[in-house]
A and B are shown apart, each in its own frame.
Chain A
């Protein structure tokens, strides 16, 4: 049993932040790694990337968007409630060596993961440029945290309600055109955003890392459900990833694989409401 020590609702309650007491995981987890959560006895196992940690307090932070049955169930949990199973840290951590200037591109809840990776890059002494994208101002998360980490921070919203109007690719293109010292782009967010960022950086031959989030069960390589095609080879996201060279990832396939269970997700949600 893992206790939720703090719960925070963000973005009109559609994004939730949990601080979970898990000392063994907090002591080990590095940026980019994820945990697998099973809320209760009948629950499914879902992967969630760790957004932050406090190894002294033994706390890990996860931030998730409410999209289906399990996340809706998690939103209903209160501070002090427990989660049945939390296992991790899983996956390989992001390689945040000192390389110079990096651009961190995040969208939606991907900003939560990006925040942890950006922090690691900053701590190893890089010049960090942040570009955050969101549908509108209210859905934007972790702006202050990112501001504290990034040396430069650009915010874009689809409707122009805050920051620049448009998509993250516009300021990214500007940076790639203007700055010649950028060594790496890290893009974490919706699949379509990561795909567009990769298409753009491919033209500049700019190394780009992405963090993938396929459907998983055990998260230890046992089931093979999280297969992704990278460089025309099948990789298991849970043991070989979750971070991959974005230029080699088959995003279209990932998008389709992630939508296999959409109808079941709906059925499950309806069943629980009934």
Chain B
């Protein structure tokens, strides 16, 4: 019936009263705040002082008390009645407990402390705990000032402090049948890791997450939790859900900053080799899972930096590159080899890989930008989001001319699309000094596929939204540089196959936006390079790889795949989930042969 309630370890101030006479125990002496009781100790009446702050709860007494001794009785200093109750007993040592009344969130509820001096238990009934938990508001992460951050590339949220994290973790109801776990594509044991935070066992919490997710620092930042784990949180029915993503991020950052990351020693080396194509989220997951099982894993990356979309796509202010390189280094320490500058399909083909490796995982991502095929798309300064972000992130064009890749010139930027990539592009443009950044999206605000947080951040930083608008053509100067974009207004019609209302153009509503940079962020399709030399890998009508959904094996034996090259543009964690399925299946298949 009673639980350890260390979760209450936050800086809340206790107002306690006698259950009999309603006398307040709170006293202020010499600028210090105490709860003052009379106690019977070794048949002697003493004065006992407790701190009213739950996170300290230190005991001070007029006579020194032996740490192994119990108080015989605890009395109200006014009515002198005993506070001891028969039920319940201490949840930790079984000693009798004293009852008092506390006000918590404008309610009077019973609260108990153990009479055993060495025991630090103090508790509430489970029902009362939950009442309190429901009253703690969701803790948001402190963020960089919106004016300041629009001019720098450092990360926007600072992350939780330990106090904030414990307060937020205290909100978790520790459901017996947690729904959040079902919402997580890799099924992290969310309640357990949150409980470990409340117990201050943050390193163990990190271990718990890493059982299922090798990239917590990344996922805590870029996962769309509001549509996954947090969407199913029970608290979300009445209030806001627990900040699971923020807590995940806190745990990973704490572990990294405190240097608690331990590289596991892999004892049972198998004489089997795995090739992973692409060092994005799915590839890193496969590599991490299989190297821990004893396989020797080699990752092949086409670019000069590993991390895939985590380094070329997601900007520094949303996911610091140092975190990605830390995670990759961690894999390297476990024994994963990373080969840069290898374009599989060109430098080495899949068939050649199969001669040297027992199995191959393809996690190359979608990686072929989609354009709208409207007139003027080849004008100068019309970019795919991939190119714009690659220039800025991977090639660090915002540091031009220190870095050699030139930054696109222009002050008025339009970004076409409403997803996270569009938000990233727009916010990057703001940071590189664009005077006016506008997102042009053909549906309405409700249908914006980007994370709410990203939309909010973009708006705060000054990005304008031009909704229900679609480009018709680009207008260029004599030098074939972009100078404007003709758009048409849209209205929402009947829902389409995706359940979203389909935008329909309003006739004769064309107008022109003046702009000198356009970024097209409407998605990616399948990149053909790898298949030019591997035509026996079956693909669907969109060019994505067809896999057995239970094993993620392709039509070619010992070749597995996952991530955007199977599903089309999706999220980091979905790619990781696909990687996990493939890694398990690869292990099963290879251990059977």
- Contacting residue for B527 out of A28, A85, A220, A267, CB 8 A: A220
Bound-complex Cα distance A24 to B342 (A): 9
Bound-complex Cα distance A95 to B369 (A): 27
Bound-complex Cα distance A68 to B162 (A): 51
A218: chain B residues at CB < 8 Å are 302-303, 312, 390
Q: Is B13 an interface residue (CB 8 A)?
A: no
- Contacting residue for B302 out of A43, A220, A236, CB 8 A: A220
> In the assembled complex, how far is the CB of residue A67 from the closest CB belonging to chain B, in whole angstroms?
13
Q: Is A120 an interface residue (CB 8 A)?
A: no
Is the pair B401, A268 in contact by a Cβ cutoff of 8 Å? yes
Q: Is B529 an interface residue (CB 8 A)?
A: yes
Q: Is B223 an interface residue (CB 8 A)?
A: no
Is the pair A44, B404 in contact by a Cβ cutoff of 8 Å? yes
> In the assembled complex, how far is the CB of residue A70 from the closest CB belonging to chain B, in whole angstroms?
6
> In the assembled complex, how far is the CB of residue A21 from the closest CB belonging to chain B, in whole angstroms?
14
The contact sample of 15 A-B pairs, CB cut-off 8 A, is: A28-B346, A42-B404, A45-B304, A45-B395, A86-B341, A87-B343, A218-B303, A220-B527, A221-B527, A221-B529, A222-B386, A224-B368, A224-B371, A227-B371, A264-B400
Given A44-B404, A220-B302, A257-B378, A88 and B391 touching (CB < 8 A)? no
Bound-complex Cα distance A88 to B302 (A): 9
Bound-complex Cα distance A45 to B342 (A): 15
Q: Is A76 an interface residue (CB 8 A)?
A: no
Bound-complex Cα distance A260 to B381 (A): 8
Residues 311-332 of B at the A interface (beta carbon under 8 Å): 312
Q: Is B178 an interface residue (CB 8 A)?
A: no
Given A89-B347, A239-B529, A222 and B378 touching (CB < 8 A)? no
B378: chain A residues at CB < 8 Å are 227-229, 234, 250, 253, 257
Is the pair A217, B529 in contact by a Cβ cutoff of 8 Å? no
> In the assembled complex, how far is the CB of residue B542 from the closest CB belonging to chain A, in whole angstroms?
16
- Contacting residue for B391 out of A217, A260, A263, A270, CB 8 A: A217
- Contacting residue for B347 out of A25, A42, A84, A224, CB 8 A: A25
DSSP majority for the B interface? loop
A264: chain B residues at CB < 8 Å are 400-401, 406-407, 409
Bound-complex Cα distance A58 to B464 (A): 54
A221: chain B residues at CB < 8 Å are 367-368, 527-529
Q: With contacts A220-B343, A220-B367, A256-B479 known, what are 12 further pairs, Cβ within 8 A?
A: A44-B395, A69-B404, A87-B341, A218-B312, A223-B384, A229-B378, A239-B528, A239-B529, A257-B380, A260-B481, A268-B401, A268-B404
How many residue pairs between the two chains, A and B, have CB atoms under 8 Å in the bound complex? 131
Q: Is A55 an interface residue (CB 8 A)?
A: no
Q: Is A225 an interface residue (CB 8 A)?
A: yes
Residues 34-61 of A at the B interface (beta carbon under 8 Å): 38, 42-45
Q: Is A90 an interface residue (CB 8 A)?
A: yes
Contact digits for B343-360, partner A, Cβ 8 Å, 1 yes 0 no: 100111000000000000
Bound-complex Cα distance A236 to B395 (A): 20
Is the pair B380, A24 in contact by a Cβ cutoff of 8 Å? no
Residue of A nearest to B476 (CB): A256
Bound-complex Cα distance A88 to B303 (A): 11
Residues 403-439 of B at the A interface (beta carbon under 8 Å): 403-407, 409
B504: chain A residues at CB < 8 Å are none
DSSP majority for the A interface? mixed
Bound-complex Cα distance A259 to B481 (A): 10
Is the pair B405, A260 in contact by a Cβ cutoff of 8 Å? no
Q: Number of contacting residues on A, CB 8 A?
A: 47
Bound-complex Cα distance A4 to B312 (A): 28
Q: Is A272 an interface residue (CB 8 A)?
A: yes
Bound-complex Cα distance A18 to B136 (A): 67
Bound-complex Cα distance A222 to B348 (A): 18
- Most chain A CB atoms below 10 A, which of B312, B387, B390: B387
Q: Is B73 an interface residue (CB 8 A)?
A: no
Q: Is A180 an interface residue (CB 8 A)?
A: no
Bound-complex Cα distance A239 to B345 (A): 12
Residues 80-121 of B at the A interface (beta carbon under 8 Å): none
B361: chain A residues at CB < 8 Å are none
Is the pair A272, B401 in contact by a Cβ cutoff of 8 Å? yes
B409: chain A residues at CB < 8 Å are 263-264
Residues 249-274 of A at the B interface (beta carbon under 8 Å): 250, 253, 256-257, 259-261, 263-265, 267-268, 270-272
Interface residues of B toward A: which range? 35 or more
Bound-complex Cα distance A235 to B278 (A): 24
Residue of B nearest to A264 (CB): B406
Bound-complex Cα distance A264 to B402 (A): 12
B480: chain A residues at CB < 8 Å are 253, 256-257
Q: Is B50 an interface residue (CB 8 A)?
A: no
Bound-complex Cα distance A44 to B407 (A): 11
Q: Is B65 an interface residue (CB 8 A)?
A: no
Chain B residues within 8 Å of A, Cβ to Cβ: 302-304, 312, 340-343, 346-348, 367-369, 371, 373, 377-378, 380-381, 383-384, 386-387, 390-391, 395-396, 400-407, 409, 479-481, 527-529, 532
A42: chain B residues at CB < 8 Å are 396, 402-404
A43: chain B residues at CB < 8 Å are 403-404
The 8 closest A-B pairs by CB, nearest first: A264-B406, A256-B480, A271-B401, A223-B387, A44-B404, A87-B341, A224-B384, A224-B369
- Contacting residue for B304 out of A38, A69, A260, A272, CB 8 A: A38
> In the assembled complex, how far is the CB of residue B344 from the closest CB belonging to chain A, in whole angstroms?
10
A89: chain B residues at CB < 8 Å are 346-347
- Most chain A CB atoms below 10 A, which of B341, B371, B527: B341
> In the assembled complex, how far is the CB of residue B148 from the closest CB belonging to chain A, in whole angstroms?
27
Is the pair A85, B341 in contact by a Cβ cutoff of 8 Å? yes
B479: chain A residues at CB < 8 Å are 256, 259
> In the assembled complex, how far is the CB of residue B379 from the closest CB belonging to chain A, in whole angstroms?
8
- Contacting residue for A224 out of B373, B387, B404, CB 8 A: B387
Bound-complex Cα distance A8 to B341 (A): 26
> In the assembled complex, how far is the CB of residue B422 from the closest CB belonging to chain A, in whole angstroms?
16
Is the pair B404, A87 in contact by a Cβ cutoff of 8 Å? no
Bound-complex Cα distance A111 to B481 (A): 31
Is the pair B347, A28 in contact by a Cβ cutoff of 8 Å? yes
> In the assembled complex, how far is the CB of residue B396 from the closest CB belonging to chain A, in whole angstroms?
8
Bound-complex Cα distance A175 to B561 (A): 53
Residue of A nearest to B373 (CB): A234
Bound-complex Cα distance A28 to B352 (A): 12
Bound-complex Cα distance A84 to B377 (A): 33
A84: chain B residues at CB < 8 Å are 304
Bound-complex Cα distance A180 to B369 (A): 44
A223: chain B residues at CB < 8 Å are 369, 384, 386-387, 390-391
Given A221-B529, A234-B377, A267-B401, A85 and B386 touching (CB < 8 A)? no
Is the pair A87, B304 in contact by a Cβ cutoff of 8 Å? yes
Is the pair A217, B384 in contact by a Cβ cutoff of 8 Å? no
Bound-complex Cα distance A25 to B342 (A): 9
> In the assembled complex, how far is the CB of residue A115 from the closest CB belonging to chain B, in whole angstroms?
22
Bound-complex Cα distance A229 to B386 (A): 19
Bound-complex Cα distance A224 to B278 (A): 19
Bound-complex Cα distance A263 to B377 (A): 22
Residues 126-169 of A at the B interface (beta carbon under 8 Å): none
